[in-house]
Amino acid sequence: MDNLLYDVMVNVKLEEGTVVLENLLLSIYFKEGISTKELAREVLLPVPVIAAIKNEFKKRDLIVQDRGIRLTQTGRDFIEKTMKYEGLDTELYHRLINDNWSFEKDFKKELDLLNKVFEGRPQVDVTVDQSKCTVETSIKRAILCLKNKALIGKRILCVGDDDLVSISLSFLVKKLFPKQNKDKCLITVLDIDERFLRYIENTAELENLPIQCHKTDLRQPLADKLINQYDCFFTDPPYTMPGMELFLSRGISALKKESGLTVFFSFAHKTPDFNLNMQWAFLDMGLIISDIKPRFNKYEGAEIIGNTGQMIILKTTRKTEPMINDVFDEELYTGEIRRTVRIYQCKECKKQIEVGDKKEYRTIEVLKESGCPYCKGSSFDIIDKLTQES
């Protein structure tokens, strides 16, 4: 597929990349007989460029001009066999693409299954800025991937996955292809937390999901086998400037060298000054903002960010390059940059215990699990918080 579409892209001198050619073919596939003008509106290209692409597709026996633009059998086979759309539940697909779906109507069974999976996931480690998005948010991320034509037939990377997006993506593929969902996509998870990797691997084996997991310390450059291999990536990085720069850089390193690829970037709502610096970082990496969805992400127990976060959809360009290529040895996580010591008081014995990154108890969860060092009580009140910038 890459060679055919790449040749068309080169011959037409198309700067938008091969992604727009795939979208064009899909528009014809779902709207047989579509006019040239309507096709131009669908894929946001000028009519003369559409005409040039049509000529290239005709040379390769992919389309014919017959009461509008139609696919040949070769073109249909290309989409169904090569692009992996064969067996698609088109009715569900169109509902999802056009936002005519509901959790209760379309995902009741999947919600029941995913709720059980999400309830069993490991406890978050707040020292590495983990937080759990809701099941509904994870499904919405998967649907967003579908709407951006980055799911079916694609290689998808999750740069960190304590949100279990890889599992929701896989469940959506099974839903879209009820009769045969094998080889419809490949999902790779990179994470440093072995607990989550084991949990995802076990779930993938139990449910027959197309997920591969690799233990990865993102402070180190990615393994060569991961470089320039993927069509899109998801990341919900530490909510610090170094965190977002590092996670985006590693994800970019893994993407194919093409324009128009999608990055699904989840991040906290930040101040205007922080957002300005973040957008400068996007530009430095050759990324453009395609869409911003405020309050898209909802999290369990993340009161510090109001339980919500934004989804920023980024697209690659011909100038996209990672900002960080080498070993990263600077402070990364919120607790490293803003060191916070919290003072808790045991409800039983009234003794005070310090909790923080450099203390005996790194988090309140660790303290509760261990019990009060004086009386073994497990209930505490926070009475003070001391923050020091690194």
Q: pLDDT digits over 236-260, tens only?
A: 998 888 899 999 999 999 999 999 9
- What rounded mean pLDDT belongs to the chain? 91
Beta bridge mates, 315? 262, 288
For residue 366, what pLDDT band results from cuts at 50, 70 and 90?
confident
The answer to whether the beta carbons of residues 333 and 361 sit under 8 Å apart is: no
Residues of the chain with CATH 2.20.28: 334-389
| Mean of pLDDT values over 62-88 | 95
User: Mean pLDDT lowest for which of 39-43, 286-290, 356-360?
Assistant: 356-360
DSSP state of 82: I
| Mean of pLDDT values over 50-74 | 95
Residues of the chain with CATH 3.40.50.150: 90-316
Q: Which two tokens stand for residue 309?
A: 């976060």
What pLDDT is attached to residue 342? 82
Domain 2-82 has CATH 1.10.3720.10: no
Provide the 10 A C-beta neighbour count for residue 118. Answer: 19
How far the first Cα of the chain sits from its last, in Å, is 49
For residue 386, what pLDDT band results from cuts at 50, 70 and 90?
confident
What pLDDT is attached to residue 365? 78
- CATH node for 334-389: 2.20.28
For residue 302, what pLDDT band results from cuts at 50, 70 and 90?
very low
What pLDDT is attached to residue 305? 44
Residues of the chain with CATH 1.10.10.10: 2-82
CATH topology of domain 90-316: Rossmann fold (3.40.50)
Collect all residues with Cβ–Cβ distance below 8 Å to 83 and sequence separation of at least 6: 1, 22, 25, 26, 152, 153
Enclosing H/E stretch for 240:
none
> Cα angle at 304 between 262 and 290, to 5 degrees?
20
Residue 58 has pLDDT above 50, yes or no: yes
